[in-house]
Structure 1
Amino acid sequence: MVAAVLVGAGAGVGSVVFRWCIDFFTGLLSGHHDYAAVPGASNPHVPWLGPWFVLLAPVLGGLLYGPLVNRFAKEARGHGVPEVMLAVAQRGGRISPRVAVVKTLASALTIGSGGSVGREGPIVQIGSALGSTLGRVTKAAEGRTKLLVACGAAGGIAATFNAPLAGVFFALELILGTFSAEAFGATVLSSVTASVIGRAAFGDVAFLELPAFHVDHLDQYALFGLLGVVAALTGVGFARALYLIEDACDWLWRGPEWLRPAVGGLALGLVLLALPQMYGVGYPVLEKATEGGYAFGFLLLLLAGKVVATSLTIGIGGSGGVFAPSLFIGAMLGSAYGIGAGHVLPHSAGAVGAYALVGMGATFAGAARAPITAVVILFELTGEYSIILPLMLAVVLATATSRLLTRDTVYTLKLRRRGIDLEGAAPGARIGAQRVGAVMEPLPPALPAATPLTEAAALLSLSGHGALPVVDGGGEYVGVVTARAVAEALSDQPDTVPSSVGRLAESPDPVTADQPLAQALHTLISAAGTGVPVLDTEQGGPVGWLSHQSALRAVGSGGPAPAG
Structure 2
Amino acid sequence: MSNNFDIITNSSTSKLKLVLKSLLVGVMTSFVAILYRYALAYAEEYSFIFYNFQRNNKWIIPFCFIILAIIGWIVGKIVEKEPFSGGSGIPQVKGIVGGYLTNRPISIIFYKFIGGVLSIISGLSLGREGPSVQLGACTGDILSKKFKSSRLERRLLMSSGASAGLAAAFNAPLSGVLFSLEEIYKYFSPLVLLSTITAAVASDFIAKEFFGLQPVFNFGKTTPIPLTNYWLLIILGLILGISGVFYNWCTLNSQKIYGKIKLKSSTKMIIPFLFAGVIGLIFPVVLCGGHAVIESLSLSSTLELLILILIGKFIFSMISFGSGAPGGIFFPLLIIGGSIGALFGYVVINYFGVNPEFFNNFIIISMAGYFTAIVRAPITGIILITEMTNSLSHLLSLTIVSIIAYIVAEAFKSKPIYDSLLDSLLKKNNINEYHKESTKKIIIANIIHFGSKAENKTIKDIVLPPNALIVSIKRGQATIVPKGDTILKAGDEILTMTDLSNEWKIRESLEALTTVY
Scaled by the length of structure 1, the TM-score of the pair is: 0.71
- The equivalent position to 1:69 in structure 2, one of 67, 79, 83, is 79
- The equivalent position to 2:384 in structure 1, one of 377, 381, 392, is 377
SS in structure 2 of the partner of residue 178 of structure 1: coil
Scaled by the length of structure 2, the TM-score of the pair is: 0.77
Q: What is the aligned residue count?
A: 438
Alignment partner, residue 201 of structure 1: 210
Q: Which amino acid aligns with 2:30?
A: G
- The equivalent position to 1:245 in structure 2, one of 245, 251, 254, is 254
Q: Aligned pair 1:17/2:35, yes or no?
A: yes
SS in structure 2 of the partner of residue 90 of structure 1: coil
- The equivalent position to 1:351 in structure 2, one of 358, 365, 387, is 358
Deviations 1:187-225 (A, max 9, x none): 111011111221111112111110322235323212112
Deviation at 1:61, TM superposition (A): 2.9
Q: Is the 8 A contact 1:241 1:307 kept in 2?
A: no
Distance 1:53 1:228 in 2: 46
**CA shift in 2, pair 1:92/1:187, >3 Å:** farther
Q: Which one is further off, 353-362 or 12-21? A: 12-21
Q: Is the 8 A contact 1:268 1:312 kept in 2?
A: no
Alignment partner, residue 262 of structure 1: 270
Deviation at 1:367, TM superposition (A): 0.5
Q: Is the 8 A contact 2:93 2:137 kept in 1?
A: yes
* Runs of 5+ consecutive residues of structure 2 not aligned to the other structure: 1-18, 439-456, 463-504
- The equivalent position to 2:49 in structure 1, one of 6, 10, 31, is 31
Alignment partner, residue 285 of structure 1: 293
Deviation at 1:382, TM superposition (A): 0.7
Alignment partner, residue 230 of structure 2: 221
Alignment partner, residue 272 of structure 1: 280
Distance 1:27 1:355 in 2: 28
Matches within 5 A, 1:33-72: 41-42=52-53, 47-49=57-59, 55=65, 58-71=68-81
- The equivalent position to 1:319 in structure 2, one of 326, 341, 349, is 326
Alignment partner, residue 522 of structure 1: 511
SS in structure 1 of the partner of residue 124 of structure 2: coil
Q: Is the 8 A contact 1:228 1:398 kept in 2?
A: yes
Alignment partner, residue 167 of structure 1: 176
Q: Which one is further off, 388-397 or 84-93? A: 84-93
Q: Which amino acid aligns with 2:83?
A: K
Matches within 5 A, 1:326-345: 326-345=333-352
Alignment partner, residue 111 of structure 2: 102
Deviation at 1:348, TM superposition (A): 5.7
SS in structure 2 of the partner of residue 97 of structure 1: helix
Matches within 5 A, 1:418-433: 418=425, 427-428=434-435
Q: Is the 8 A contact 1:158 1:164 kept in 2?
A: yes
Distance 1:251 1:317 in 2: 13
Alignment partner, residue 436 of structure 1: none
Deviation at 1:330, TM superposition (A): 0.5
Q: Aligned pair 1:3/2:21, yes or no?
A: yes
Q: Which amino acid aligns with 2:398?
A: L
Deviation at 1:331, TM superposition (A): 0.7
Alignment partner, residue 122 of structure 2: 113
Q: Which one is further off, 340-349 or 315-324? A: 340-349
* Runs of 5+ consecutive residues of structure 1 not aligned to the other structure: 33-39, 432-459, 467-515, 528-564
Q: Which amino acid aligns with 1:307?
A: F
Deviation at 1:134, TM superposition (A): 1.5
Q: Is the 8 A contact 2:321 2:329 kept in 1?
A: no
SS in structure 2 of the partner of residue 15 of structure 1: helix
Distance 1:338 1:425 in 2: 46
**CA shift in 2, pair 1:21/1:350, >3 Å:** closer
- Tell me which structure has the larger Cα radius of gyration: 1
Distance 1:427 1:465 in 2: 24
Deviation at 1:100, TM superposition (A): 1.2
Deviation at 1:369, TM superposition (A): 0.4
Alignment partner, residue 123 of structure 1: 132
Alignment partner, residue 443 of structure 1: none
Deviations 1:115-137 (A, max 9, x none): 10111011111111111121223
Q: Which amino acid aligns with 1:117?
A: L
Distance 2:73 2:426 in 1: 30
- Higher relative contact order, chain-length normalized (CA < 8 Å, sep 6+): 2
Alignment partner, residue 219 of structure 2: 210
Distance 2:40 2:93 in 1: 22
Deviation at 1:419, TM superposition (A): 5.4
Q: Aligned pair 1:182/2:171, yes or no?
A: no
**CA shift in 2, pair 1:185/1:274, >3 Å:** same
Q: Which has the higher helix share?
A: 2
**CA shift in 2, pair 1:303/1:519, >3 Å:** same
Alignment partner, residue 155 of structure 2: 146
Deviation at 1:27, TM superposition (A): 4.8
Distance 2:408 2:367 in 1: 16
Q: Which amino acid aligns with 1:167?
A: G
Alignment partner, residue 407 of structure 2: 400
Q: Which amino acid aligns with 1:525?
A: T
Q: Is the 8 A contact 1:425 1:518 kept in 2?
A: no
What's the Cα RMSD here? 3.1
Distance 1:53 1:285 in 2: 27
Deviation at 1:90, TM superposition (A): 2.4
Distance 1:306 1:360 in 2: 14
Deviation at 1:21, TM superposition (A): 2.1
Q: Is the 8 A contact 1:41 1:51 kept in 2?
A: no
Distance 2:68 2:307 in 1: 24
Distance 2:316 2:78 in 1: 22
Deviation at 1:337, TM superposition (A): 0.7
- The equivalent position to 1:133 in structure 2, one of 142, 146, 162, is 142
Distance 1:79 1:386 in 2: 31
Fraction of identical pairs, as percent: 23
Distance 2:251 2:417 in 1: 9
Deviations 1:40-79 (A, max 9, x none): 73359x84557888755643431332222322x1111111
Q: Which one is further off, 226-235 or 272-281? A: 272-281
Q: Which amino acid aligns with 1:98?
A: S
